Structure formats: C-alpha cells, structure tokens
Amino acid sequence: MSRIFITGSSTGLGLMAAELLAEQGHQVVLHARNAARAEDARRALPQAEAVVIGDLETVAGAKEVAASVNALGRFDAVIHNAAVGYREAHRLTSDGLPHVFAINTLSAYILTALIDRPRRLVYLSSGMHHHADANLNDILWKKRRWNGSEAYAESKLHDAMLAFAVARRWKNVFSNALEPGWVPTKMGGAGAPDDMAQAHLTQAWLAAGDDPQADVSGEYFYHLKRRTANPQAHDPALQDQLITICEEVSGLELPE
C-alpha cells in the first residue's frame, strides 16, 4: 500500500485518480482550493485520509499547502495534477504573476521543493505541450500579447521540464510526466474527443508503485505507454534555466 497526495483533487481527473487508488487499497490525501471544495471532496471520497486546503495561486498559499502536507507525515508519491486550463483570460495574482504560470508551473515547483521528498513524483502535462515553446525569456508574459491557449501549452511544457529536471537531479526518485488526453472535464470542455475512461489511469499507475514497469524516471507517458515529449523538455540547459527562474520568483531553492 502506498500513501499518495494529489493536488487539485476535489474534482475532475485528480479525484478520478484518487478514487481508483483508494479502490486499489492505497491511502490517499486530497487537496482542495477552499473549504467548500474540500467538503465536496470528502463527500465524493469519504475513505480519503484527509483533505489539504490551500490556494496554489500565490507563493504563500503553495507554501502553506506544502507545510500542511508535511505535517501529515511522509508520502510515497505526489501527483501534481492542479491546473487551470487553456481558455483563461489574462489575470495577475496578488504576487503580480500571470495566474496560469503561478498555478500550473510555479506551484508545482514550490511543492516539489518543499514537500518531504517522496519516492515517486508524477507531473500532468498535456498534448498541447508538443507544439509549445518554453519562452523562458518571457515566462511572465510581459512582452507578448496574452494568449490563453499558448500560456497553458507553455505551462504544461514547463511541467514536463520540471519532471525531467528532478529526474536528472534526484537519482533516488522516480519522476515522470504524462498527458491524460483531451477529455471532457470542466477544464477540457464538453466537446473534448479523448477517452475519459483512460485519462486517470497513467498517473495512478505511476504513483502506486505496484508495477515494476513504472519504476522508471525521466519518461513521458500517454495511456500507460511511453511517448516522445517535446525535445525542449529534455534540454538540461532549459531545465536549469526554468529552475533558476522559479527559484528567483518563489525565493525557494530546489534541494540537491
């Protein structure tokens, strides 16, 4: 049995992965942005060990979530699932950051840096990352006209870069990324064409640790099979540049 924390798991794919893992006998801790969503999550999955409450939009909020997770003790795996989608208008957080970057990229970095190191780290990317550019010279969208779809795709490329950077740096951790498919969640939209029944399986499989075939690191998956990621995701120089940016913006270094 593994103990697994899943961000953004009050609904959607995060909750679906949690339900599957709980059915398999694993211990699951959920995460919700606020108390109302936490109550919904408890009702949806009463066997969850706990629900951590905290808004990942701000640096302080992400730090609080990490502290709450660490207070519960060590986890075997963390699934970085929390995200906002590709139809977002431009909005700055109270930290002065584009909220798509703050939630999709920076909060995953902060939680990675602060949560006591688990054995497995799983980062949700997107098929949209394949055609994205990391745009690290304008990651905060100060020079370009806002495009929500591009911002989302970039952030999902960043998540894959983070997964592979961690795989390269932390040799005792299985750190991987995946795309769940374009599925009809609240984020994906009702017309999304991919198979909802497949969308949560890979992250649960990578996190559970039940299958020796999941004992890999620095890989990218789609529906339980390895897939080639955007080449930028595997570029060590770009990975290191992203880590440096996240360190500067958050004030947190990634531990060695």
Non-local (6+) Cβ contacts of 36 within 8 A are: none
Is 152 one of the catalytic residues?
Answer: yes
- Is 237:213 a contact under the CB 8 Å cutoff? no
Q: Which residue in the list 86, 156, 220, 222 is annotated as catalytic? A: 156
Is 220 one of the catalytic residues?
Answer: no
Q: Which residue in the list 152, 186, 220, 225 is annotated as catalytic? A: 152
- Is 151:98 a contact under the CB 8 Å cutoff? yes
Residues carrying an active site annotation:
152, 156
